[in-house]
Amino acid sequence: MRGRWTGALGGTIAGGVIGALLSTLVGVFAFRAGQHPAAASLRRSQPSAEELAAMKVEHEAQRRQHAARFERESRNSDLATVALEPLRRSLQAAAPAGHYQVVSIDCKETMCASTLRWNCYADARSGYRVVMQSNRPPGCGVLIDIPEPADPAQPYETTVYFDCTVEPSSRGH
C-alpha cells in the first residue's frame, strides 16, 4: 500500500510499509472498539440461530435437488462429450492449491458432478474457494455444499455440482 492514508483519528499516515502497518493497526483497533463502520454492519448481519437452521435446511434441499436431477440425466449429450476432460484437468490442476483430491467426475445432459476429498473438514472449509474459482464448463454455475460432519478430523468428501442451465454463479455454503 503506497500513498497517504487519512485515518479515523484525523491524522495522515505516510505511505510505504510503515504506513500500511499503521493503517492496518488503526483499522483493527477501530474495529475491535466497535467504531469501524464494518463492525456495526457485521453485528447487524449476523444471522440468528433460527435463520442459520433455515439456511442449512435450504442448502440441504438444494443439494438433494441437484443430486436427484443429476441422477436422472442421460450421458448422451454434447456437454458430457465436450466438458468432461477440460473440467477434470481444471479441477486436478487446482487440487494442490485447494488441498483436495478429485475422487470422481461425471458430466451428463446439463450438469457435471465431481466428488472431492480433503484430509479434514477444516481443509474443505478453506479449500472449497479454489474449486469455486477454477475453470468450469462455459455457461455453468457451481454449487458446493460443505456441511459440518460428525467428526471434523476425519477425511471429508462432498460433491460439487456444475449446473449448465443457469447463469454462471459461485454459490458456496
Domain residue ranges of the chain, discontinuous segments joined by +: 5-45, 49-172
Distance CA 3, CA 13 (A): 9
Q: 169 in helix, strand or coil? A: coil
The cell numbers describing 159, all together, are 460433491
The cell numbers describing 97, all together, are 492449491
Predicted model pTM: 0.65
Q: What is the pLDDT of residues 74-129, one digit of tens each?
A: 887 777 778 888 899 999 999 999 999 999 999 998 899 999 999 999 999 999 99
Q: What is the pLDDT of residues 122-153, one digit of tens each?
A: 999 999 999 888 877 777 888 888 888 999 99
Give, as one character, the DSSP assignment of residue 89.
H
